[in-house]
Amino acid sequence: MSTKRRAGIAGVGYYVPERVVTNFDLEKTLNTSDEWIQSRTGIRERRIAAPEQAASDLGLIAAQRALADAGMAADQLDMVIVATASPDMVFPATACIIQDKIGAVNAGAFDLTAVCAGFPYALTTGAQMIKAGQAERVLVVATEKFSGLLDWNDRSTCVLMGDGAGAVVLTADSPQGEILTSVLGADGSGIDQLCIPAGGSARPASHETIEQGLHFMKMNGPEIYKFGVRIIGEAVEQALTKAGLQEKDMDLLVPHQANIRIIQSAAKRFNLPMEKIVVNIDRYSNTSAASIPIALAEAKEAGRLKPGMIIVLVGFGAGLTWGTVVLRW
């Protein structure tokens, strides 16, 4: 008689750069203010990587901390999956750089791009590899150096983003953090709402693309805001239903840290007190794919993850993409 394989989170870790850039710092170079930024986004400050730090450097530290939390050596890993929209280079994969630096000599490695929804996509992929018997131990890293993708003269985008990395170790025998189910989705008709227009094969780098600033992030803020408010509610409801759970069963919500008003809208929709939602956007801003695992790791660090809790992770971003994962801690 076969036993259904499970996948759980054996360890978590995160890293944010040392440099803190406050809203008051941005006031010195931009036509903006701390009050304007906080009232619209909930952001007070963000972490910015040093010039010599790449996304792999941030992810490396988060990965090492997750492995230490799991009590596992890197050579025990079967796979390294990295979710990032700011890779070190077009190729090879940032996952291969991290795999080499941590010494995961027995693991495969690849990158996955779903931008701010990257972590739910990567977590689901790693869990399914374990459940299918393809792997026993998978390292999932989400790492972003978005500061290198921003026009620091554009106040509509540069005030929103920050740098950081989060990681989890998935195993087939972890007693905690069981992946119950997930819902992943995409709407490619919205690709122009949030993108970096140039730098790929469609619009290779040229004098014109550089002069026009097409290698920086471009966003239709109002449309992305409306999308976020709608899709968080829909994706969480679908995932809970798929897991055979109800809204009242949700003990902790760990949302993508895009905008405090989007998070507050989710709290209202699910009648959740803010104490049941992990929020760190005020300190780190939007770290894209890294925001959910950073928040999850901080929640564990603070003792907020208790055995048996139903925890829901939800993210959304460019693509347009979205993803929700339901865990039982």
Whether residues 71 and 119 share a domain: the answer is yes
Mean pLDDT of 286-290: 98
Q: Which residues pair with 166 in a beta bridge?
A: 14, 142
Whether residues 130 and 193 share a domain: the answer is no
Domain end, chosen from 145, 174, 203, is at 174
Q: What is the pLDDT of residues 229-276, one digit of tens each?
A: 999 999 999 999 999 999 999 999 999 999 999 999 999 999 999 999
What CATH number has the domain bearing residue 102? Answer: 3.40.47.10
Whether residues 225 and 91 share a domain: the answer is no
CB atoms within 10 A of CB 94: 26
Q: What is the pLDDT of residues 132-190, one digit of tens each?
A: 999 999 999 999 999 999 999 999 999 999 999 999 999 999 889 999 999 999 999 99
Check residue 35 and give its pLDDT.
96
Q: Which residues pair with 327 in a beta bridge?
A: 179, 311
Can you give the residue range of the structural domain that contains 137? 8-174
Give the catalytic positions in this structure: 116, 256, 286
pLDDT at 1 over 60: no
Check residue 273 and give its pLDDT.
96
Average predicted confidence (pLDDT) for the chain: 97
Mean pLDDT of 182-209: 97
Domain end, chosen from 174, 202, 231, is at 174
Whether residues 169 and 186 share a domain: the answer is no
Check residue 3 and give its pLDDT.
64
E strand intervals along 57-177: 79-83, 108-112, 137-145, 163-171
Whether residues 164 and 214 share a domain: the answer is no
The total number of structural domains that make up the chain: 2
